[in-house]
């Protein structure tokens, strides 16, 4: 938990996202209280750090839902990020942080390779060519 909080790469769980929001909110309140009591405007620059961390963690939570990080700009999407369940198995942004479905052959990391070599059955054969399948034909 809380690995690479400054990176936009990967996925995080709802718990990590919620705890990050709470922690950042408390840090922002502390910085605002210090700035108000001390009168120093330099404390405003300190607010950039928790805001940046909230943005990076929000982007990673969007990735867990299978969306781009820009989706966090949609009004009320924060509720979906906080309460919505992440994608099962890996998606284009990485493995499932819960570990669910990462080893599943249909959702695993080599799913794209397996899917590209699966045979595809069609009913379209050139005239006169028979594959031996008699289903759906008159005998």
Please give the Cα distance from 102 to 58 (Å, whole number). Answer: 22
Please give the Cα distance from 39 to 27 (Å, whole number). Answer: 18
DSSP state of 13: -
| C-alpha 10, offset from chain centre | 7
Report which secondary-structure segment, H or E, holds 77. helix 77-83
Residue-wise pLDDT tens for the chain (139 aa)? Answer: 777 889 899 999 999 999 999 999 999 999 888 888 766 777 778 889 999 999 999 999 999 999 999 999 999 999 999 999 888 888 888 888 888 877 776 655 554 554 555 555 556 655 555 556 655 555 5
pLDDT of residue 35: 81
pTM (2 decimals)?
Answer: 0.69
Residue of 59, 54, 83 lying closest to 72 (CA atoms): 59
């Amino acid at each position: 938990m809380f690995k690479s909080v400054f990176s936009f790469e990967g996925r995080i769980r709802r718990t990590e996202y919620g705890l990050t929001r709470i922690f950042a909110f408390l840090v922002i309140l502390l910085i605002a209280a210090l700035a108000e009591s001390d009168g120093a405007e330099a404390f405003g620059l300190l607010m950039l750090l928790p805001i940046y961390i909230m943005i990076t963690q929000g982007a990673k939570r969007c990735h867990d839902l299978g969306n781009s990080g820009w989706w966090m700009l949609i009004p009320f999407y924060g509720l979906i990020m906080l309460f919505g369940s992440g994608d099962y198995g890996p998606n284009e942004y990485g493995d499932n942080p819960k570990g669910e479905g990462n080893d599943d052959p249909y959702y695993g990391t080599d799913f794209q390779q397996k899917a590209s070599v699966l045979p595809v059955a069609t009913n379209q054969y050139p005239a006169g060519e028979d594959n031996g399948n008699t289903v759906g034909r008159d005998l």
